[in-house]
Structures are given as C-alpha cells and as structure tokens.
Amino acid sequence: MDRLSKLLALFGVRADLFYSGGLCGVSSFDGANRRGHIHLLQEGELGLAIAGRPQVFLTEPSLIFFPRPSQHQLVGTESGGAHLQCASLEFAGGANNPLAASLPDMIVQPLTELSMLSDTVKWLFAEAASDHCGRHATLDRLFELTVIQLLRHQLDHQQLKSGMMAGLADVRLARSLVRIHEEPHHPWSISELAGESNMSRASYAAHFKVVVGQTPAEYLLSWRISLAQKLLREGRSVALISEPVGYDSPSALARAFRRRTGLSPREWMKPVRANGASLNEGADR
C-alpha cells in the first residue's frame, strides 16, 4: 500500500534553490511570498529565531523545514561558520493544501536522526559544491526528493500525533484513507470505510476522530473540497469538476463547498485571482 504517491501526484512540492553558501548576520523571512522553506545546515553553528519562541541554536548538521509560509530568521555569526543550502517550497493547491496543512508548523532535526535522507543530502551537498551544468535544476529536484523522504520518515516513525499524516501512519486507518484519496468520487459510507480497516463501525469512527481530529464524514468532505479548490485554481469549471470530486451535480458541489468554506466556489476564487494566482498553479509537470 502506497500512502504517499497519490497525495504527491495531486499536491506535490516544487523547490527552488535560493541560497547556497556561508551565512554571517541575519537572514529574515516574512512569509509574504506564500511559500514554505527548507534549510539544510551543512556545517557550523546557526541560530533559528521565531517570534514568540526561544531562539534555537543548532550546532550540528540539521534540517529546518517550514511546510507553510512562516516568519523566521536565520542567525549566523563570524565565529559560527554556518554553511547553508536553502530552498523555497510551493505545494500544489496553495499553501493550505491537505498535505502541507497536515504537517506541523516546523520540523527541526539533526541530520544524524534522519538516516533515510543521508544519501540524498550527501548528494545535494556535493552538487552544491560543484560547478556542473544543470546544477540549479539538480539541486531543486534533490530538495524535492528530500521533502518526500522526510514525509516517508514521518510516516514510518509515526512522529505526527494528529491529522491526515497521523492517520496514514496508523496501521488501522491507513488503508481506508488511501481508498478515500484514490476514489473521492465513490459514495463512501462509514460502514464501508470501517470494513476497509477491519474494524467495527463504532470503533472505526471513534478511533478516526481521535487520530485524525475529524469524523470520517468531515474528512471526506474536506478532501473533496480540497480537490475541488485545486481544480478551480487550475481553471476548471464547477460543472466539469463536480462528478470527479464526488458530487452528482454542480449545485451539490456548491452546497458542500459553502458548508466547508462558508463561500461559494465563485466567491472563494475572487481573492485567489486578486492575489495573482496562476490558473495553472500547482499543475503537474
């Protein structure tokens, strides 16, 4: 059972290297570009400052991951010798897509604790130090692979306590969640989803709510509307997307959309267009 491929096909990540080298002083990020960030501390010492939190000091090679836009500062000193590789991240479907939204605000871990990423990170550091043709494009792809392997690490080590990713890490819930992700158009019932997990209806509903933080019906609605939002961003009409996301008519989708967001699809799209979102934002390569 592949818990990630469908998610990544729909809400995959694009990385864009923007810094490679030493850091002396303060580099600030205000979140205005509506992107997440990944910073890899290759060597040296680095301070990480976030408003309202004590400053964190990193003294060994580490990964710093912000899946969503976040205000933060990287603080280097002359004696610290911090050497960094940094990329911005854009998840398909916007900053609040289901995959990014299911992750914590920040993940900071020493690279020694992320053995699954070791070969990719070594390759990334070696590529950053080279002068090969296609260096920037290669580093972008390696950052994307790093994110995918980090997600795999989170699932395999069950490090998330609530939300979609926690559900996918749960051996009893994972199969039913994968089926929802793969077949959103199916008229899922609680009994049918419980059967996918080999649980009774009552036990499944209670366990799902504890782990995922929503009832199965709420989750199914959220997933379908997230898919609808992605397709709307890509320029699809409500008439064309209603059936693929699980509704038998555009009006049924519009009612579900308003129930989930408080807005009609047309109203929801107004600020998206006003913010200059491309109709093809998040489209698959």
Question: pLDDT at position 9, please?
Answer: 94
Inter-CA distances, 71 with 30, 32, 49, 170, Å: 4, 9, 9, 32
Identity of the residue numbered 103: L
Q: Which two tokens stand for residue 210?
A: 């504890």
Average pLDDT over residues 191-216: 96
Average pLDDT over residues 98-125: 95
Domains plus CATH for the chain?
5-156 (2.60.120), 160-214 (no CATH), 219-285 (1.10.10.60)
Average pLDDT over residues 18-41: 93
Average pLDDT over residues 130-136: 96
Average pLDDT over residues 192-218: 96
Average pLDDT over residues 106-122: 96
Question: pLDDT at position 284, please?
Answer: 34
> What 3-state DSSP class applies to 278?
coil
pLDDT band of residue 276 (cuts 50, 70, 90) is low
> Residue 282 pLDDT more than 70?
no
> Residue 132 pLDDT more than 60?
yes
pLDDT band of residue 77 (cuts 50, 70, 90) is confident
Per DSSP, helices labelled H in the chain are: 5-11, 98-101, 118-128, 135-156, 164-169, 174-182, 190-196, 201-212, 216-233, 238-241, 250-261, 265-274
When the pLDDT of each residue in the chain is averaged and rounded to a whole number, the result is 92
Distance CA 118, CA 133 (A): 24
> Residue 157 pLDDT more than 50?
yes
> Residue 234 pLDDT more than 70?
yes
Question: pLDDT at position 160, please?
Answer: 85
Question: pLDDT at position 280, please?
Answer: 36
Question: pLDDT at position 24, please?
Answer: 87
> Residues 243-273: pLDDT tens digits?
999 999 999 999 999 999 999 999 999 887 7
> Residue 69 pLDDT more than 70?
yes
